Chain A
């Protein structure tokens, strides 16, 4: 079975439910929270994936973690997923859910990697140009990776805007090697 279709169906049903009940804002916030929690805690993901732990225990666990912070609808959705024995793909469901929410809001996510911490001006500049390119609102998360030496790498969906020194050096290496391919044979 496709790894894509099942999460999509669950996520889509949650989106539609939220829209019907007019609590879209609230539920999408819940989705973000659950996704981030799962993303940060490998332990939680492992527990959910484990077939040894009984569904009742998992239910209780999720309730104690999330009950205070999320709406009743989202909680009952979590219970429903566990009942259907799909808790192993809960992470994928919320990943999908988030992208559906972004689509609804006309937002695209971008991940930006830079060698040094960017100041706000630079960030705004980058966002502006990305928004121009994608003609939709861009929400970026920033990471610092000194391995890229300098510049930045921005990824929006499948497209990568690579202005890093590392990439430039790589291209330079390729250009230099092109005529010396003879030595590799």
Chain B
């Protein structure tokens, strides 16, 4: 417990008392007309700005959302029972803003930037408004650097670039958060000296938890800490118990922090987990503010709610420092219904989506990514050349496999080539399975995928594929580490390396013991 020294106190007292005579505090006020359900209508506050923070008694803050002819509609960030009719409301002259700075890394804060991790006040550089206009065309450039998730299936087939917005969508319990957490953990590599040497810039992460259980947030934080990922991560937490307005502003707060890194020429990754809960929170307060409901009772501007948020993800032009802000929004669907209002909206806004299917998940294919309908609309440009080269046929092979899979279940009368396609597909599916919290470096992914697509697994049992991969990668590390080195440095696959991989895999097949 920190101590306050008496001389410190007297210094502050002296300073305060010195300005006692002439210090007149000028502020503007209004009166609460009506309060309830987290909403207050206020008379007065005639000069208040939209989305300005206002102060209520008992340390409750609020935000102005509706400016009407005779009153002002405010949402409350605290208990509405602490406020009664006739209370005085003070202006703060500050639009809702979020503290930003490097010191926020490693902290857990609420959407107003107040710490919730019990580790004292947050040190910050400045306040930035949580609602900012997204950048225009001139300030941007195409996405061109990869953001490695460490998940082979994604990095090979649905690559994500720095500055992209890639939606993670799926039913409950399909591993959506797991993908996001793995991605954060995989950024640890970008903060090492080694990455610096190869020209990979560090990625700072922001995890925005909206409407989740406090226990889930604690679990995620514990996992990140365990993996040493909290050093470059900030968690913005608006759990289910917080008032709807805080849940509503949480993603904007996260985006603001991400933009701070982006605008300083750094790279940021923001995860919004999840936006369906945020939309529900926004619906709640919109209905309370008596805005007319539309489809599924969401207000008319629910599309704008998400588009203005996700549009803030960007890759800056070189003139502006070339920083980037990557957004990974998460949407939870109900019973696989992607044609509901919010999922269709967010699908249309983002630059691609990763679909997660419960039946794949239950069948043991984890991550349960449906590669058939998952796409990345811009990430392909950002893939490293080596990965582009080896992954080209991967998606095709899997598509063919899925097409024939149905036949395989019916009969045995299949011709040779069909059987080969099926065998290869089954092995590729096996290869793309990956445990949680074990991200794989890109050079290893390249080698694995190369081995898979070039059908070296033909002689290996499906059940042995994972073991083969693991032991082979260890083998390469020991005997042919120049393969990894070459991919890391050149980021491409030259003929020499290809020959070397072929040689290594042929050698290894000889030695591999079947179980």
Inter-subunit contact A160/B13 (CB<8 Å): no
Assembled-state Cα–Cα distance A163/B121 (Å): 30
The answer for the CA separation of A146 and B33 in the assembled complex, in Å, is 27
Chain A residues within CB distance 8 Å of chain B: 2-5, 155, 157-163, 167-168, 171-172, 175-176, 178-183, 185
B window 303-357: CB within 8 A of A: none
A171-B4 in contact (CB<8A): no
Knowing A2-B69, A2-B70, A185-B115 touch, does A158 contact B29 (C-beta < 8 A)? yes
Docked CA distance A5–B71 (Å) = 11
A sample of 26 cross-chain residue pairs with beta-carbon separation below 8 angstroms, ordered by A number, consists of A2-B71, A3-B33, A3-B70, A4-B69, A5-B69, A158-B29, A158-B44, A159-B27, A159-B29, A160-B27, A161-B24, A161-B26, A162-B24, A162-B26, A163-B23, A168-B20, A168-B23, A171-B16, A172-B12, A172-B13, A176-B4, A178-B121, A179-B2, A180-B4, A181-B115, A182-B119
Task: Indicate if B6 sits at the interface (CB-CB under 8 A).
Answer: no
Given A4-B70, A182-B120, A185-B115, A175:B12 Cβ within 8 A: yes
Bound: A161/B29 CA distance, A: 11
A160 touches B116 (CB 8 A): no
Within 8 Å CB of B20, what residues of A?
A: 168
Given contacts A3-B70, A180-B4, contact A167 B120 (CB under 8 A): no
Residue-by-residue, is B1-18 near A (CB-CB < 8 Å gives 1, otherwise 0)?
110100001001100100
**Cβ–Cβ < 8 Å partners of A4 in chain B:** 69-71
B30 at the interface (CB under 8 A from A): yes
Contacts of A179 in B (CB 8 A): 2, 4, 121
Q: Please tell me if the beta carbons of A158 and B13 are within 8 angstroms of each other in the complex.
A: no
With a cutoff of 8 Å between Cβ atoms, the chain A residues found around residue B13 in the complex are 172
Q: Is B28's CB within 8 Å of the partner chain A? A: yes
How far apart are A159's CB and chain B's nearest CB, in angstroms?
5
Shortest beta-carbon distance from A63 to chain B in Å: 32
Instruction: Report the Cα distance A175→B16, complex, angstroms.
Output: 9
The answer to whether A182 touches B12, judged by C-beta atoms less than 8 angstroms apart, is no
Give Cα A168 to B45, complex, Å.
Answer: 22
**Contact call A163/B25, Cβ cutoff below 8 A:** yes
**Nearest-neighbor residue (CB-CB) of B27 within chain A:** A160
- Determine the chain B residues whose CB is within 8 A of the CB of A172 once the complex forms: 12-13, 16
Count the A-B residue pairs with Cβ separation under 8 angstroms: how many?
71
Which residues of A sit under 8 angstroms from B121, Cβ to Cβ? 178-179, 181-182
Main secondary structure of the interface of A (DSSP, over half): mixed
Q: Please report the C-alpha to C-alpha distance between residue A176 and residue B4 in the assembled complex, in whole angstroms.
A: 10
Chain A residues, Cβ within 8 Å of B411: none
Q: Verify if B118 is at the interface (C-beta below 8 Å from A).
A: yes
A154 to chain B, nearest CB (A): 9
Task: List residues of B whose CB falls within 8 A of some A CB.
Answer: 1-2, 4, 9, 12-13, 16, 20, 23-30, 33, 44-47, 69-71, 115-116, 118-121
When A2-B69, A182-B2 are in contact, do A163 and B24 touch as well, CB less than 8 Å?
Answer: yes
Cβ of A5 and Cβ of B70 under 8 Å apart?
A: yes
Contact of A158 among B1, B47, B70 (CB under 8 A): B47
Other contacts beyond A163-B24, A180-B2, A182-B2: 13, CB < 8 A? A2-B69, A3-B70, A4-B71, A5-B69, A157-B46, A158-B29, A159-B26, A160-B28, A161-B26, A168-B25, A171-B25, A172-B16, A176-B9
Report the minimum CB–CB distance from A80 to chain B (whole Å). 23
Chain A residues, CB < 8 A from B118 = 182, 185
CB closest chain-B residue, reference A163:
B24
Nearest Cβ in chain A — how far from B206, in angstroms?
21
In angstroms, Cα B47 to Cα A171, docked, is 24
Interchain nearest-CB distance for B31 vs A (Å): 10
Inside 8 A of B70's CB, which chain A residues have their CB?
Answer: 2-5
List of B residues within 8 angstroms of A161 by Cβ: 24-26
Considering the chains assembled together, what is the distance between the CA atoms of A148 and B406 in angstroms? 82
| Among B25, B118, B121: residue with most chain A CB under 10 A | B25
Please give the distance in Å from B7's CB to the nearest CB on chain A.
14
Query: In whole angstroms, what is the CA distance A171 to B13 when docked?
Result: 11
B26 touches A160 (CB 8 A): yes
Is the CB–CB distance between B29 and A160 below 8 Å? Answer: yes
A179 to B30, CA, bound (A): 30
Q: A3-B33, A163-B25, A167-B25 are in contact. Are A158 and B45 (CB under 8 A)?
A: yes
Minimum C-beta distance from A167 to chain B (A)? 5
Q: How far is the CB of A151 from chain B (nearest CB, A)?
A: 9
Whether B27 pairs with A162 at a CB distance below 8 angstroms is: yes
- Best-surrounded residue of B2, B26, B33 (most CB of chain A within 10 A): B26
Contact B116 A185 (CB under 8 A): yes
- Docked complex Cα distance between A155 and B30 (Å): 11
Chain A, Cβ-Cβ closest to B20: A168
CB distance from B217 to the nearest CB of A (A): 15
Cβ contacts under 8 Å, A163 to chain B:
23-25
Residues of B within 8 A of A159 (CB): 26-29
Alpha-carbon distance A12/B1, docked complex (angstroms) = 63
Distance in angstroms between the alpha carbons of A148 and B332 in the assembled complex? 54
Residue with the highest number of chain B CB atoms closer than 10 Å, among A160, A175, A176: A160
- Give Cα A160 to B25, complex, Å: 8
- The distance from the CB of B318 to the nearest CB of chain A, in whole angstroms, is 41
Closest to A168 in B: B20
Chain A positions within 8 Å of B33 at CB level: 3
> A132 to nearest B CB, angstroms?
14
A3: chain B residues at CB < 8 Å are 33, 70
- The minimal Cβ–Cβ distance linking A82 to chain B, given in whole angstroms, is 24
- Which residues of B sit under 8 angstroms from A5, Cβ to Cβ? 69-70
Chain A residues with CB under 8 Å of B120's CB are 181-182
Q: How far is the CB of B488 from chain A (nearest CB, A)?
A: 44
- The residues of A that contact B12 with a CB separation of less than 8 Å are 172, 175-176
Q: Let me know if A155 and B29 touch, CB within 8 A.
A: yes
CB distance from A175 to the nearest CB of B (A): 6
B163 to chain A, nearest CB (A): 36
Q: Give Cα distance in the complex from A180 to B120, angstroms.
A: 8
Bound complex: CA of A167 vs CA of B26, how far in Å? 11
Chain A residue nearest in CB terms to B71 = A4
Which residues of A sit under 8 angstroms from B115, Cβ to Cβ? Answer: 181, 185
Contact partners of A175 in chain B: CB under 8 A: 12, 16
- When distances are taken between beta carbons in the complex, the residues of chain A under 8 Å from B29 are 155, 158-160
Q: Which residues of B contact A180 (CB under 8 A)?
A: 2, 4
